[in-house]
Structure 1
Amino acid sequence: MPFEIRPWEEISRSYGCTILLGNGASIAVSPSFSYGSLLRHAVEQRFLPDDAQRLFQFFQTNDFELVLRIVWQASNVNRSLQIPDHRTHAAYVSLRDCLIQTVRNIHPEYDQVSAHLPSIYQFLKRFSTVISLNYDLVVYWVMTYGLEIEDQHAFKDCFIGGGVFSDDWQRFRQPIGRERSTTLVFHAHGSLVLCRNLVEQELKIHNRDAGLLEAILQLWQSESVVPLFVSEGTWQQKVTSIQNSYYLSTVYREVLKSPRNTLVVYGWGFSEQDLHLLQRMSGTGINRVAVSVFRGDQAYCNRVFQTIRDTLGWHVEVEFFDSESPGCWIHADQQGLRPVP
């Protein structure tokens, strides 16, 4: 018997706690995000030299950020000790430039996605917590859009002055000043807007919305920081990368384990390499899960239903909703904003 896939508006009032965003959310905003992997795209476009590819093979990973950081650290150590080593620095520059080319080739500019921001903003503001698995800038741009319209709802990522993540992130749930409600935003796998400096301090990059992407790439090119995001790898490799970051490990240990009674999943494929995130939410009190479905995919519904019950428990009620129905993500509700063509 097929699963019922309902319009979002029919079930939306039952959900307002946590939403988990997967790559399908980014693809809905721009088809350029539908690439298989950063590394594969770089290889296919011939951005990555053969000697740089050997680094990925040696470290047995496809994670661009990890390999770039290892070579960057080695180059900085050699430089600080005045050890002549042109080859290590050249490898770093090659990897860095490859990543910059790949991101510039894939990621849309602000004005290419800005028309979608009002609808996404209205959709996300109903949730108290947003957990994004995507490293792109879409959710960040939604947050800054909210600052412009001043509707007394605040999106907060818990980074404070100087771009440093706050240990006491829970305090940001409390509205202040003219705020009436808040949504906390976390990047479980990092983001382009996050970076590490020379002493491994993790920071958020600030810049004007329209020029943020280029500002990030220029900062990478300056050799003063490396990006902080986990882009590829098995679940074991991803967990290891998460544990090597203070911010990512805090999201993993504390945010994912926070009490919640409902969960909405939008655009996530429940792939094996990311199921560790759902497993972290086991025991947090979830009794109801709503999952977006693209174009009535019943095979996906069957697989997801079994995965959620196996991971979170057989007591959990699982519902499915049409990912393109009014009121969810980029699709405006029937009474408010017009949908973007």
Structure 2
Amino acid sequence: MPFDILQWADISDNYGCTVLLGNGASIAVSRSFTYESLLGHAIERNLLPDDARQLFRFFRTEDFELILRIVWQATNVNRSLQIPDARTYDAYVRVRECLIQTVRDIHPEYDQVRDRLPSIYEFLKGFRTVISLNYDLVVYWAMAYGFDRYRQHSFKDCFVQNGVFSSDWPRFREPIYGERSTTLVFYPHGSLVLCRNMVEQEFKIHTRDAGLLENILQYWQAESVVPLFVSEGTWEQKVTSIQNSFYLSTVYREVLASRRDTLVIYGWGFGAQDIHLLQRMQGSGIRRVAVAVRRGDQAFCNMVLATINQYLGRNVVVDFFDRESPGCWIH
């Protein structure tokens, strides 16, 4: 029996707790995000030299952030001990420049997506929590769009003024300064706006203007920080990377497992490499899940229902809605 594909307006009143955004959400904003992996893009365009590829093979990973951090740390150790090692530094520079060029190739500029931001803002402000699996700047730009326009609602990512993430993140749910409501935003796999310095301190790069993307890349190029995001890998590799970060591990252990009764999923394909996210939500109290569907894809609905039954329980009510219906995401 085929599943009913509803309109977002038919069910939106039942869902105001949490929305989880996958790569399909970013692709809806810009087709430039339709890539298989950052590493694949770099190799396809001959941006990554052979000796740098050897690092990925040796560490058995496709995660740019991990390789860049490993080589950067080795370079800093050699510098501190005054060990001459031009080859390690050269490898770091090549991986860094490759990542910068790849991000420049893939990520759209602010002016290319700005017309989408009002719709995204209106959609996201209907939730208490936003969980974005995407490391791009789309959600961050949507948050900034509303910052100077709408004082009654506030988006908060729980980073305080010095750019450091607050471990007491639940306190940010309380409205202040005349706000009527708040939405907390988290990045379980990191984001371009997040970085680490040479002693592994993590912080957010603060810029609200349209030059944020270039500002981030300049930070990387200045050799003062490395990015904090998990771009590729199996679920085991991703969980290992998550556990090596205070911010990511806090989101993974506390935010994903926190109490919620409803969950909306937009643009996430339920891939095996990210199934750890649903596993962390087991026992969080989810009673209803709404999943965005592309063009009435019944095979996708069958797969989703089986996955939700397996990880969240068979008593969870599942609604499917047209991902292009009015009022959801960019529509």
Deviations 1:263-298 (A, max 9, x none): 000000000010000110010000100000011111
**Alpha carbons 2:151, 2:178 under 8 Å: kept:** no
Residue type matched to 2:239 in 1? V
| 1:161-310 equivalent positions in 2, closer than 5 A | 161-310=161-310
| 1:42-61 equivalent positions in 2, closer than 5 A | 42-61=42-61
Q: Residues of 2 paired with 1:237 and 1:213: CA distance?
A: 27
Residue type matched to 2:60 in 1? Q
Residue type matched to 1:114 in 2? R
Runs of 4+ in 1 over 2 A off after TM superposition: none
SS in 2 for 1:108: coil
SS in 2 for 1:209: coil
Report the alpha carbon displacement of residue 162 of structure 1 after superposing the two structures with TM: 1.1
SS in 2 for 1:301: helix
SS in 2 for 1:149: coil
Residue number in structure 2 paired with 1:8 = 8
Residue type matched to 1:266 in 2? Y
Q: Residues of 1 paired with 2:29 and 2:289: CA distance?
A: 23
SS in 1 for 2:228: strand
Residue type matched to 2:70 in 1? I
Q: Residues of 2 paired with 1:27 and 1:209: CA distance?
A: 22
Of all paired residues, the percent bearing the same amino acid is 74
Residue number in structure 1 paired with 2:320 = 320
Q: Residues of 1 paired with 2:213 and 2:155: CA distance?
A: 20
Consecutive unaligned residues of structure 2, counting only runs of 5 or more, are none
Q: Which moved more, 1:58-67 or 1:203-212?
A: 203-212
Report the alpha carbon displacement of residue 164 of structure 1 after superposing the two structures with TM: 0.3
Q: Residues of 1 paired with 2:292 and 2:148: CA distance?
A: 29
Residue number in structure 2 paired with 1:78 = 78
Residue number in structure 1 paired with 2:38 = 38
Match status 1:123 vs 2:123: yes
Compute the RMSD of aligned alpha carbons. 0.6
Residue number in structure 2 paired with 1:147 = 147
Q: Residues of 1 paired with 2:283 and 2:189: CA distance?
A: 22
Q: Residues of 1 paired with 2:35 and 2:178: CA distance?
A: 41
**Alpha carbons 2:5, 2:296 under 8 Å: kept:** yes
Count of residue pairs brought into register by the alignment: 331
Q: Residues of 2 paired with 1:316 and 1:132: CA distance?
A: 22
Report the alpha carbon displacement of residue 14 of structure 1 after superposing the two structures with TM: 0.2
Q: Normalised by the size of structure 1, how large is the TM-score?
A: 0.96
Residue type matched to 1:214 in 2? E
SS in 1 for 2:211: helix
Residue number in structure 2 paired with 1:335 = none
Q: Residues of 2 paired with 1:172 and 1:297: CA distance?
A: 38
Report the alpha carbon displacement of residue 206 of structure 1 after superposing the two structures with TM: 1.2
Residue number in structure 2 paired with 1:19 = 19
Q: Residues of 2 paired with 1:125 and 1:227: CA distance?
A: 27
Consecutive unaligned residues of structure 1, counting only runs of 5 or more, are 332-341
Residue number in structure 2 paired with 1:29 = 29
Q: Residues of 1 paired with 2:290 and 2:208: CA distance?
A: 35
**Alpha carbons 2:144, 2:208 under 8 Å: kept:** no
Residue type matched to 2:324 in 1? E
Report the alpha carbon displacement of residue 207 of structure 1 after superposing the two structures with TM: 1.9
SS in 2 for 1:210: coil
Report the alpha carbon displacement of residue 151 of structure 1 after superposing the two structures with TM: 4.1
Q: Residues of 1 paired with 2:207 and 2:307: CA distance?
A: 40
Q: Normalised by the size of structure 2, how large is the TM-score?
A: 0.99
**Alpha carbons 2:293, 2:320 under 8 Å: kept:** yes
Deviations 1:178-215 (A, max 9, x none): 11000000001000000001110000001242100000
Q: Residues of 2 paired with 1:127 and 1:208: CA distance?
A: 22
Q: Residues of 1 paired with 2:209 and 2:317: CA distance?
A: 40
**Alpha carbons 2:165, 2:203 under 8 Å: kept:** yes
Q: Residues of 2 paired with 1:293 and 1:68: CA distance?
A: 36
Residue number in structure 2 paired with 1:338 = none
Deviations 1:2-29 (A, max 9, x none): 1111010000000000000000000000
Q: Residues of 2 paired with 1:326 and 1:80: CA distance?
A: 57
Deviations 1:51-102 (A, max 9, x none): 1001000000000000110000000000110000000000000000000000
Residue number in structure 2 paired with 1:101 = 101
